[in-house]
């Protein structure tokens, strides 16, 4: 599963969670509303007719209501009456004048379910008659529902099915739209990844996101043109410098080797030669790092012996007039163990040479340099360690975070350009390896490169 699929899958799952949360919150709110409404109705709206009936008594055939009963009616703005067995009103309190004082059995059946001349009513049976409580029109709503029992469960299942179908339809439509957006966004995300890695892109400038595709195409063309211009400029500069630099080196070496010239002139020629060689190395480093960055350096991979590779790199450094201030050693962690890696011999030799020269450059007062070769089941481990001045914690973090730094040392008048370590990183990356920088005890720096074993 690529990054685009993971992104849209998380997007869909998060939306489903939001929908579920939305439904749960709404169900809780609706349930809370009905509970509060029901409790409120029970506490304030429902007239306590049974309690009221207890306050209406009969003495010698005469009905009477106490003061509390009258207060209950006044507080509810209600009226009351008691009907005898023949439907005649035998007692009343606050009964409106327009209402009749006698009711048939049909009238009683009607207002017990619905209304009595727009007055909602509530009834209770007494031993001496039927108590009727009436409320102001519009204050209470009465409804009477009647269903056949056999239709109750089908109706409930039907409502649940309609609810589920609506939810599933909503999720389906959302996923369908999300897939359409994903289909349009995947090329864009892929194009952005290609741009970040310096690869050319070309997106179809059609559909709803055509404007974004056109912008990415334009950005890709601009970056490609810019990179090509820079690479061409570096190649051109390297080519143009090569001839005059060779002339300078040739004449400086000739002057330095001419014994008839004054020693001061010969020393000056030696300084010119030395700095010209540094300039030549700088141009070569610049050209190589450009080729590696833009994958212009062809990889001549072959099976290599890492021990022999390190031995050649160390010999090259020793044969290059290494100062007596430096002690260079080569060792194997597992002597006699056969190790084989696949890589470009020239590039890997350059990697080791740059690491060793980095120890020399940043320890002007001399140091001991140890180059060791080790391995485990899957990796070949190159280690270049010195006991020199070391690096600060900030510089060490910068080295391990792959930041661009000009040098691992404090800036001086002869500060290195930093291309050496950049080239090392590029070579390690081209060989699917890793590089890490460590402090050594008590001082110094240890650089470890791990490359896969053949």
Choose the final residue of a domain: 184, 213, 246: 184
161 found inside a domain: yes
Span 175-226, pLDDT tens digits: 777 777 777 777 887 888 777 766 777 887 776 667 877 888 888 887 777 7
**Domain that includes residue 100, residue range:** 49-134
Question: How many Cβ atoms sit within 10 Å of the Cβ of residue 242?
Answer: 13
Q: Do 285 and 417 contact (CB within 8 A), yes or no?
A: yes
* pLDDT tier at 447, thresholds 50, 70, 90: very high
Pick the closest to residue 388 from 428, 359, 418 (CA basis).
Answer: 359
Domain shared by 264 and 308, yes or no: no
What's the pLDDT score for residue 367? 92
* pLDDT tier at 240, thresholds 50, 70, 90: confident
- CA 9 from centre of chain: 13
* pLDDT tier at 43, thresholds 50, 70, 90: very low
- Main-chain dihedrals φ then ψ at residue 436, nearest 5 degrees: -145, 145
What's the pLDDT score for residue 407? 42
**Whether the predicted pLDDT of 405 surpasses 60:** no
- Count of structural domains, the chain: 4
202 found inside a domain: no
Domain shared by 34 and 76, yes or no: no
Pick the closest to residue 167 from 11, 58, 26, 9 (CA basis).
Answer: 26
CATH assignment of the domain containing 392: 3.30.565.10
Domain shared by 15 and 114, yes or no: no
- CA 411 from centre of chain: 38
CA torsion through residues 156, 158, 162, 165, sign: positive
Domain shared by 29 and 123, yes or no: no
For the chain, give the percent of residues with pLDDT over 70: 87
What is d(CA 395, CA 404) in angstroms, rounded to the nearest whole number?
11
Query: Cα angle at 61 between 58 and 67, to 5 degrees?
Result: 35
379 found inside a domain: yes
* Segment 319-343 mean pLDDT: 86
Domain shared by 339 and 447, yes or no: yes
What's the pLDDT score for residue 1? 57
270 found inside a domain: yes
CA-to-CA dists, residue 77 to 80, 91, 119, 258, angstroms: 10, 18, 12, 129
The more confident residue out of 22 and 63 is: 63
210 found inside a domain: no
What does the block give as tokens for 307?
A: 């021990």
What does the block give as tokens for 241?
A: 């410098």
What is d(CA 199, CA 186) in angstroms, rounded to the nearest whole number?
16
Domain shared by 247 and 275, yes or no: yes
281 found inside a domain: yes
**Whether the predicted pLDDT of 450 surpasses 90:** yes
- Main-chain dihedrals φ then ψ at residue 204, nearest 5 degrees: -70, 125
What is d(CA 381, CA 383) in angstroms, rounded to the nearest whole number?
6
What is d(CA 399, CA 23) in angstroms, rounded to the nearest whole number?
52
Domain shared by 348 and 423, yes or no: yes
Domain shared by 370 and 445, yes or no: yes
201 found inside a domain: no
Domain shared by 397 and 363, yes or no: yes
Domain shared by 362 and 382, yes or no: yes
**DSSP state letter for 60:** T
- If you average pLDDT over every residue of the chain, what do you get? 81
What does the block give as tokens for 117?
A: 């001349």
209 found inside a domain: no
Domain shared by 372 and 243, yes or no: no
Nearest-Å Rg of the Cα atoms of the chain is 48
Contacts of 305 (CB under 8 A, 6+ apart): 339, 340
* Segment 65-70 mean pLDDT: 89
Domain shared by 53 and 41, yes or no: no
Which of 406-427 are b and which e, b meaning 16 or more Cβ less than 10 Å from the residue's Cβ?
A: ebbbeeeeeebeebbbbbbbbb
The packing angle between helices 419-430 and 263-293, to 10°, is: 40
* pLDDT tier at 40, thresholds 50, 70, 90: low
Pick the closest to residue 79 from 67, 62, 91 (CA basis).
Answer: 91
């Amino acid at each position: 599963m690529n990054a685009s699929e993971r992104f849209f899958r998380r997007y869909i799952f998060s939306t489903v969670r939001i929908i579920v949360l939305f439904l749960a919150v709404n169900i809780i709110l609706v349930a809370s509303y009905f509970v509060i409404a029901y409790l409120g109705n029970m506490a304030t709206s429902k007239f306590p007719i049974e309690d009221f009936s207890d306050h209406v008594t009969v003495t010698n055939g005469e009905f009477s209501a106490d003061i509390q009963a009258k207060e209950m009616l006044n507080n509810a703005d209600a009226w009351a009456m008691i009907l005898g067995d023949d439907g005649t009103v035998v007692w009343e309190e606050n009964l409106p004048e327009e209402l009749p004082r006698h009711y048939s059995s049909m009238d009683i059946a009607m207002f017990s379910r619905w209304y009595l001349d727009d007055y909602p009513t509530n009834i209770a049976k007494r031993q001496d008659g039927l108590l009727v409580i009436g409320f102001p029109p519009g204050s209470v709503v009465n409804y009477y529902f009647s269903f056949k029992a056999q239709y109750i469960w089908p109706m409930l299942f039907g409502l649940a099915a309609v609810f589920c179908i609506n939810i599933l339809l909503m999720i389906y439509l959302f996923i369908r739209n999300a897939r359409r957006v994903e289909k349009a966004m995947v090329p864009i995300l892929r194009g952005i990844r290609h741009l970040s890695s310096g690869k050319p892109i070309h997106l179809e400038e059609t559909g709803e996101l055509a404007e974004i595709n056109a912008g990415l195409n334009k950005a890709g063309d601009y970056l490609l043109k810019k990179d090509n211009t820079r690479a061409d400029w570096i190649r051109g500069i390297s080519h143009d410098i090569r001839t005059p630099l060779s002339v300078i080196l040739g004449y400086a070496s000739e002057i330095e080797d001419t014994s008839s010239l004054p020693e001061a002139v010969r020393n000056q020629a030696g300084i010119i030669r030395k700095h010209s060689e540094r300039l030549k190395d700088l141009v070569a480093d610049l050209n190589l790092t450009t080729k590696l960055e833009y994958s212009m350096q062809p990889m001549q991979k072959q099976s290599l012996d890492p021990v022999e590779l390190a031995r050649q790199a160390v010999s090259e450094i020793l044969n290059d007039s290494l100062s007596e201030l430096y002690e260079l050693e080569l060792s194997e962690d597992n002597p006699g163990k056969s190790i084989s890696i696949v890589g470009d011999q020239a590039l890997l030799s350059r990697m080791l040479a740059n690491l060793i020269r980095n120890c020399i450059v940043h320890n002007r007062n001399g140091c001991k340099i140890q180059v060791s070769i080790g391995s485990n089941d899957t990796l070949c481990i190159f280690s270049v360690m010195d006991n020199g001045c070391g690096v600060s914690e900030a510089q060490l973090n910068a080295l391990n975070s792959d930041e661009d730094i000009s040098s691992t040392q404090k800036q001086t008048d002869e500060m290195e350009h930093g291309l050496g370590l950049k080239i090392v990183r590029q070579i390690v990356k081209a060989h699917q390896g890793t590089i890490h920088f460590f402090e050594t005890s008590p001082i110094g720096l240890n650089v470890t490169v791990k490359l896969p074993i053949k």
